[in-house]
């Protein structure tokens, strides 16, 4: 059976390490659960280890969260479109926004629900994804900060997700200065700057994140331990939280060099990490076929745990792994384990052909937790000063 396994003890370890980093910086944080695709067992485990603020970009996943953990603090992480306004208000406490009309629609929906909805104003700082241009920030804030059913918690930015450029201290300092500008002009406190992410954790560990950056949205580091700036794994984190175990369906000694010199008609590129060196003609070795293919995931994002194993290529439903001169005792029915990068994991978790499982079983894991386990207060409870600085009217 092909399955993604989630090591709940490793997940708890990563949570506790990241939570300590946040405490040392004086920041709050939201666990980004997008990669789980609503997988209930892990969402439940997160709630039991102390996570109270979770963010997702799919309303169906937030709905799953609400069923498991009715009192959770939900963050909607995709800028809302007009068709989802009502659900955003019902299913999330906070949303990220970059359109005035959208915030006004959220205000109307919140009024109908009798609640106050919280927003972060997103600012464009170079990733060229969501965010208003800095030059329009004052007028934007003036249009929304006094809406009775909207609480502007602060400003934020998305860094590194689209353009892929690593965040830097200059960008983070810009956000600190923009908040100071708004607070001075409008005499109103903005408690949060939400710009921390897995990509900014290396800066945090190097002491290069300004104290004003006081909210982080963290997913990849929590589930994979990835150091997105330097490569490898972040200090103290584990990279074995989530692994792919793929069953061997065929294992035979075969020639390793592809026959023929004509043009390839393969529907998928044969190029794979670690499998691009063409073996010399006549070289033989053991090749294992596993029942995971391009339909299921981004095969280029898989790395066998055994460094002697190399992915030779993949079709829609089958991946071929070169095992070398010695299969190492593996046989048909055994499993080969893989690390996954974020895109590969995301597709596997969303794939209905791949089984998901937690280890140990959820009930065993929950029974092992002590009452002294760390619990993180929801972000909104960490905000103690949301009152106006000197009144709540704009300065003239």
Q: Which residues constitute the domain of residue 333?
A: 242-255+271-359
Tell me how far apart the alpha carbons of residues 353 and 48 are, in angstroms, rounded to a whole number: 28
> For the chain, how many structural domains are there in total?
2
Q: Scanning the structure block, which residue is given the tokens 């208003």?
A: 132
| Interacting residues of 6 by C-beta distance below 8 A, sequence separation 6+ | 39, 41, 42, 45, 241, 242, 356, 357, 358, 359
Shared domain for 102 and 202, answered yes or no, is yes
- Examine residue 235 and state whether it is found in any structural domain, yes or no: no
Where residue 384 falls among pLDDT bands split at 50, 70, 90? low
Average pLDDT, the chain: 92
Same domain, 210 and 249: no
Residue 149 carries which DSSP code?
T
Asked if residue 86 and residue 167 are part of one domain, the reply reads: yes
Domain assignment of residue 71, yes or no: yes
Section 220-224 average pLDDT? 99
Answer yes or no: do 249 and 151 share one domain: no
> In the chain, where does DSSP find H-type helix?
8-25, 40-49, 59-68, 85-91, 100-113, 137-144, 169-186, 201-205, 220-224, 342-349, 362-368, 379-382
The per-residue pLDDT for 257 is: 73
Specify if 371 maps to a domain: no
Please check whether residues 223 and 277 belong to one and the same domain.
Answer: no
Residues 312, 315, 317: CA angle, nearest 5 degrees? 115
Tell me, what's the pLDDT at 276?
54
In a domain, 265, yes or no: no
Q: Say what the pLDDT of residue 283 is.
A: 82
Question: Quick check: is 73 in a domain?
Answer: yes
Question: Are 317 and 180 part of one and the same domain?
Answer: no
Model confidence pLDDT, tens digit, residues 264-275: 666 666 555 554
| Res. 387: pLDDT tops 50 | no
In which element (H, E) is residue 298 found? none
In a domain, 237, yes or no: no
The stretch 221-232 carries a mean pLDDT of: 98
Asked if omega into 43 is within 30° of 0 (cis), the reply is no
φ/ψ bin of 279: left (φ > 0), alpha (ψ from -120 to 50), beta (otherwise): beta
Which has the closest alpha carbon to 118: 379, 369, 385?
Answer: 379
DSSP string, 202-255: HHHHTT-S-TT--EEEESHHHHH-B-TTTSSB-TT--S-SEEEEEEEEEEEEEE
In a domain, 1, yes or no: no
User: Domain check: are 177 and 249 in the same one?
Assistant: no
Catalytic residues: 34
**276 and 217 in a common domain:** no
The pLDDT, as a whole number, for residue 394 is: 34
Please state, for a pLDDT cut of 70, what percent of the chain lies above it: 90
14-23, 86-95, 148-157, 275-284, range with the lowest pLDDT: 275-284
Residues 315 and 202 in one domain: no
pLDDT tens digits, one per residue of 102-119 = 999 999 999 999 999 999
**pLDDT tens readout for residues 344-375:** 999 999 999 999 999 999 999 999 998 666 67
Query: Within this chain, do residues 207 and 247 fall inside the same structural domain, yes or no?
Result: no
- Write b or e for each residue in 91-119: b if 16 or more Cβ atoms lie within 10 A of its Cβ, otherwise e: bbbbbbbbbbebbebbbebbbeeeeebbb
| 256-308 confidence digits (pLDDT tens) | 876 666 556 666 665 555 545 667 776 899 999 999 999 999 999 999 999 99
- pLDDT category at 255 given cuts 50, 70, 90 is confident
- For residues 219-229, average pLDDT: 98
**Percent of the chain surpassing pLDDT 90:** 84
The 10s digit of each residue's pLDDT in 118-145 is 999 999 998 889 999 999 999 999 999 9
Could you tell me if 304 and 321 are in contact, meaning their C-beta atoms sit under 8 angstroms apart? Answer: yes
Give me the CATH number covering residue 223: 3.20.20.10
Is the residue at 260 inside a domain?
no
Q: What is the CATH number of the domain that holds 295?
A: 2.40.30
| 204/250 same-domain check | no
The answer on 216 and 70 residing in a single domain is yes
């Amino acid at each position: 059976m092909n399955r993604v396994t989630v090591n709940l003890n490793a997940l708890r370890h990563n949570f506790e390490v990241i939570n300590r980093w946040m405490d040392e910086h004086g920041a709050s944080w939201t666990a980004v659960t997008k990669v789980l695709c609503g997988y209930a067992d892990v969402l439940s485990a997160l709630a039991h280890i102390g996570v109270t603020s979770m963010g997702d970009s799919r309303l169906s996943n937030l709905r799953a969260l609400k069923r498991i953990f009715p009192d959770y603090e939900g963050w909607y992480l995709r800028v809302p479109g007009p068709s989802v306004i009502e659900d955003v208000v019902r299913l999330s406490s906070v949303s990220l926004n970059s359109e005035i009309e959208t915030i006004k629609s959220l205000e109307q929906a919140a009024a109908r629900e009798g609640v106050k909805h919280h927003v972060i104003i997103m600012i464009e700082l170079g990733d060229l994804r969501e965010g208003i241009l800095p030059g329009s920030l004052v007028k934007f804030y003036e249009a929304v900060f006094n809406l009775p059913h909207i609480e502007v918690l602060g400003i934020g930015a998305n860094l590194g997700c689209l353009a892929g450029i690593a965040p830097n201290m200059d960008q983070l300092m810009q956000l600190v200065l923009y908040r100071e500008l708004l607070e001075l002009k409008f005499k109103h406190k903005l408690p949060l700057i939400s710009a921390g992410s897995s990509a900014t954790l290396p800066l945090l560990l190097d002491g290069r994140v300004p104290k004003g950056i006081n909210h982080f949205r963290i997913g990849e580091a929590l589930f994979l331990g990835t150091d997105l700036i330097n490569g490898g794994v972040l200090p103290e984190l584990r990279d074995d939280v989530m692994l792919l175990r793929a069953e061997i369906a065929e294992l035979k000694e075969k020639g390793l060099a592809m026959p023929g010199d004509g043009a390839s008609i393969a529907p998928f590129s044969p190029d794979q990490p670690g499998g691009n060196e063409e073996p010399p003609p006549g070289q033989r070795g053991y090749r294992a076929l596993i029942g995971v293919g391009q339909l299921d995931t981004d095969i280029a994002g898989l790395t066998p745990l055994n460094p002697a194993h190399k992915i030779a290529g993949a079709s829609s439903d089958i991946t071929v792994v070169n095992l070398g001169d010695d299969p190492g005792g593996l046989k048909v029915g055994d499993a080969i384990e893989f690390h996954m990068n974020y895109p590969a994991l995301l597709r596997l978790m969303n794939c209905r052909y791949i089984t998901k499982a937690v280890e140990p079983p959820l009930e065993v894991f929950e029974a092992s937790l002590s009452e002294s386990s760390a619990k993180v207060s929801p972000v909104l409870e960490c905000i103690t000063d949301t009152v106006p600085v000197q009144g709540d009217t704009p300065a003239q």
